Amino acid sequence: MSWTHGLWKTVARARGAFGSPERPGLRVLGYHAVGSTLPGDPYGLSTPAEAFARQMDLLSSGRFGKTVPLGGAKLDGGAEIAVTFDDGYRDALTTAAPILARLSLPFSVCVTPGLLDSGRPHLSWPELKELALVPGCEIGAHGLTHARLDGLGAEDLARELSESRRRLEDALGRAVSVMTWPHGAASRRAADAARAAGYSRAGCSLYGVNGPDREPLLLKRTEIVSFDDERDFAGKASGAWDWFALRQGDPANR
C-alpha cells in the first residue's frame, strides 16, 4: 500500500467516526481486475477474489441501496448502487461474474475493443460474448483505443465513441448504451459528444454520489482498490470517502 492511501484511509475513518455525509442517490463502484495478478500494479487495480466476494455479499444485503446496472439506474435520488468494471480483464468472466451471478447482482463491464484479443490479461472477443450471456451482465464501452478522450479533436472523439459502440453492438447483437471514460478523462464537451454518439450513461472517476441533477454522461464513480479492507469498502459505499473528490476536480467544470 502506498503511504498516500494509508493517509486517505485515516482521513476517511475519522470522517466515518463523526458520521459520514450519507445522501441518497446513485453510487457507482469502479473496479478493474478481480483475483488476477497484474504486472506492476502500484494502484492496487486488482481486488483479491475473496475480498470481492465479501464486498458483493455486503451489497446483496441491500444496505447501500438497490443494486442496478449502469444503464438501468433510475437516477431519481433513490439509493442505488452499480458495480462497474473497466478495461475488459478476463477475470470478469472467470472470477467476478460467477460471484455476481450467484448473488443475482447486476453488473456492467466496460471494455475497450482495441484491447480485446491483445492477449492476457484481457478478454478475447469469444470470451466477451460468453460474458455477455451471464444473467445480469451489461456490456459497455471504454473508448476504442483507451486514449484520453477529453483532449481529442471533434473528429477523433466522435470516432472513438461511435466506433467502440458499433464494434461491440456488431459482436454482441445487442444495444450498447453505457460507457466509462478511459483514465476518467472527460469534460462537458466530451459528454455532449457521447450523447450524440448514442450513449445514455457514462461514468468518470470523480468520487461521490449522483443525484437527479447530475449529468448522466459524467456520473461520479468511487474506485475500489486492492488496499481496501471491509471497513474501507463500507465507507466508500456509504460516502465516507466522498471528500476525496476535493482533490480531483469535476469534469463537469471542464
Choice between 56 and 110, CB closer to Zn ion: 110
Choose the binding region for Zn ion from 5-13, 156-164, 174-182, 246-254 (rule: CB under 5 A): 174-182
Q: All 3 cell numbers of residue 207?
A: 468520487
Contacts of 5 (CB under 8 A, 6+ apart): 44, 225, 227
Cross-strand partners of 139: 109
Q: Give CA–CA dist 196/198, Å, rounded.
A: 5
User: How many other C-beta atoms can be found within 10 angstroms of the C-beta atom of residue 173?
Assistant: 8
Choice between 101 and 147, CB closer to Zn ion: 147
From its phi and psi, is residue 88 left (phi > 0), alpha (psi between -120 and 50) or beta?
left
Element (H, E) at 160: helix 154-172
CB of 86 to Zn ion, least distance (A): 4
Choose the binding region for Zn ion from 4-12, 17-25, 180-188, 226-234 (rule: CB under 5 A): 180-188
One of 26, 80, 87, 131 touching Zn ion (CB under 5 A): 87
Query: What residues between 100 and 159 interact with Zn ion by CB under 5 A?
Result: none
One of 55, 65, 80, 86 touching Zn ion (CB under 5 A): 86
Contact call for residue 223 and Zn ion (CB under 5 A): no
How many chain residues touch Zn ion (CB under 5 A)?
Answer: 3
* Binding region for Zn ion (CB under 5 A): 86-87, 182
